[in-house]
Amino acid sequence: MTDVLRRGRASLAFSFLVQGVAFALLVTRIPAIQDRYGVSDALLPAFLAAVPILAGVGSVTTERLVKRVRPSRLLRWSQPVVLLALLGVGAGERMVELGVALAAFGLAVGVLDASMNMLGVSLQRSYGRSIMLSFHAAYSLGGIVGASLAWVGAHWDLALWVSYLPVVAVLLPAVLVGSRWYVDDGDVAPAVEEKAAGEGQAVVFKWLLPLCLVMTVAYIGDSTVSNWSAKYLQDVLGSSEQMATVPYNVYMVTTLLGRAIGDLGVRRFGAVAVVRGGALVAAGGFAVVAAAPGAWVGMLGFTLLGLGLCVLVPQTFAAAGRLFPGASDAAVARLNVFNYVGFLIGSPLVGALGDLWSYRGAMLVPMVLVLVTLVYARSFAAQPDRYGGGHERPRTADVGRGSNGL
C-alpha cells in the first residue's frame, strides 16, 4: 500500500509539473501571441477573460462528472487536450483559430485543475500530514521550465509553433504513461475516522464561502503576475521583450522555494500562521512593484509576490478537504471555480485600470485585496483531522493495518 501511495504521489506531482510548463508557455508569450494574430490591446482582455470563464465551466462539469467517473480518468484525458490546445495556439494563423484553441485550452484546464486537486486532497488525507504544497511546488517548477523555454523562444525569435511543438511531443506521451499510477480516493484503504463519519456529507456553501473569497483574491494576485508582468516590465518599466519574460520566471522560482518548505511550515506553525504571513508578504510585493523605478526593482517586487502568494491556494484546497471530508471532491470542484473567478476579475481589472488610470496604480488594487485574507485566516484552522496544527495523525492510521507509514 505504501508503494501505491508513493507512485500515486509521484505521478500526480508530474502532472502538476506538466501543467505548470503548459501554462507558463502560454502566458509568458502573450506579446508574441498578440503580434501573431494581430490582437489589439483593447481586445486582449476579452481573450484573457475567455479562458477562465470556460475553465470555470469545465470545473463545474467536473463536479458532476466525478459522481460517475473517477477523478484520475478525468485527469488522464484532460491533460493531453491542454497540451494539444497549446500547440494549436502556436500553430494557428487566423483570430478564429486562436479563439478555438483558447476555448479548448480553457475547458480542459477546468477539468484538469479540479481533478488534480481532488487527487491531491485525497492523497493528503491518506498520508495524514500536509503534502498539498509539494504538488503545487511541482507546478511552480514546471512554470520555471516553461518560462525558461519561453525566454529561449523570444531570444532566438522562434515562431510560436516551433517553441511549442518539441515540448508537446515530449510531454504528451509522458503524461499518458504517468497516468497509470494515479491514486483515487478508493484505491487505498485509509482508516480515516473523519472520512467515514462524513460519508454522504453535503457541501454547505456558506461554510465554504470564506475559502472561496480567499481563493478569488489569491488568483487575482496570481493572474496579475501571469498576465501582466511581461507587459508591465516592457511598457511601464522600459525593459526589452527578452527581459520581459523574466518576472514570471522569478515569480515561479520564489513560489517553488516557498512551496518546497511550506508543508514543513504548516506542520510546525499551523496553516493559519502560514496563510497570514503569506498575505502580508504578498501585499508588500505589490507595493514594491507599484513604486518600482526600474525593471530590477520591479523584479524584486515579483520575488516577494511569489513568496507570499505561493501558500494561499494549496492551503485553501487543503482546508476545503478538511472542512468536508465526506464530500471533498465536490468541495474542491466548487472551490476551484473561484480560481477562475479570480482570473476573470484580475486580468480585466488590471487592464481597465491601467488604461483609465495607470498600470502602477492598478497594482495597488490587488495589494489591498490580498489583505482581505487576514480577515478569513481562521478558516484555515485545523479541523478534526488536525494535520497542519501540530497534531498529525499517526501515519499508520492512513495506510491500513500493519503499514509502517510513509
- Would you list the domain boundaries of the chain? 2-182+197-383
CA atoms within 13 A on the CB side of 39: 22
**Yes or no: domain 2-182+197-383 corresponds to CATH 1.20.1250.20:** yes
CA 107 to CA 96: how far, in whole Å? 17
The three three-digit cell numbers of residue 260, written as one number: 518546497
Let me know if 269 is exposed, middle or buried by CB neighbors in 10 A (0-12, 13-18, 19+). middle
Let me know if 266 is exposed, middle or buried by CB neighbors in 10 A (0-12, 13-18, 19+). buried
Q: Return per-residue pLDDT of the chain as tens, 406 residues.
A: 588 899 999 999 999 999 999 998 998 888 889 999 998 878 887 887 788 899 999 999 999 999 899 999 999 999 999 999 999 999 998 999 999 999 999 999 999 999 999 999 999 988 888 899 999 999 989 988 998 899 899 889 899 999 999 999 999 999 999 999 999 876 765 444 444 444 556 787 888 999 999 999 999 999 888 778 888 888 888 877 778 878 877 888 899 999 999 999 998 999 999 999 999 999 999 999 999 999 889 989 999 999 999 999 999 999 998 888 888 899 999 999 999 898 888 877 888 898 888 899 999 999 999 998 999 988 888 654 444 444 444 443 333 333 333 3
Alpha-carbon Rg for the chain, nearest whole angstrom, is 20
**Helix, strand and coil in the chain, % to nearest 5:** 80, 0, 20
pLDDT score, position 48? 75
